[in-house]
Structures are given as structure tokens and as C-alpha cells.
Amino acid sequence: MHMKKVTINNKYGLQSKMAAVFIHKASKYKSSIWVEKDERKANAKSLLGLLSLGIGEGDVITLTAEGEDAEKAANDLEEYLVSDLREE
């Protein structure tokens, strides 16, 4: 299992369009991936789950990946989250 604490620095946070890109990236991995904010947890491959967390600028989230490609998944998703959250 790999866990990463990530601070969201983008002024829009993880809103619908950027959340959809994040989900697309997370869905490429076989591992189970979870995002946690303020003791609430959501599946990183679920749009409704991620949006329900209300992740905004300055929020600190915990990204957890568990499975055969967990380390790569956690590293790649962290890299996206600390970027300027652009579409790719």
C-alpha cells in the first residue's frame, strides 16, 4: 500500500473537468485507489465520490493506492495533483 499526502494548489481545486481527467488517469491502474479529505473517503475512480469531497484550493488530501501497480499509480496521480491540474 502506498499513501501520499498532497496539497491542492490549483485555484479551482479538483472540480468536475479536472476530476474527470484524474479519474481517467486512475482508471488506467489495476490498484484500488482512494482519496481522503477530512475523514471522508472516496473511490478515486468515481466522479460522484470525488466531487462529494469538495476538494478545493489549499486542501490537503491523502491518496492511497493498493495493488500490483500501487506505487506507480500513487506517484503518477500525485504528479498530476501537484501540477496545475490541466487537461491532457
Cα–Cα distance, 42 to 21 (Å, whole number): 16
CATH of the domain at 8: 3.30.1340.10
Residue 22 lies in a domain: yes
Cα–Cα distance, 25 to 37 (Å, whole number): 19
- Give the structural domain span for 30: 2-82
Residue 57 lies in a domain: yes
pLDDT tens figures, 1-15:
999 999 998 888 888
Residue 42 lies in a domain: yes
Cα–Cα distance, 5 to 27 (Å, whole number): 20
* 0.75 exceeded by pTM: yes
Residue 88 lies in a domain: no
The residues, ordered by sequence, that sit 6+ positions from 69 with a Cβ below 8 Å of its Cβ are 29, 30, 31
Residue 40 lies in a domain: yes
pLDDT tens figures, 47-65:
999 999 999 989 999 999 9
Residue 60 lies in a domain: yes
Domain count of the fold of the chain: 1
Residue 9 lies in a domain: yes
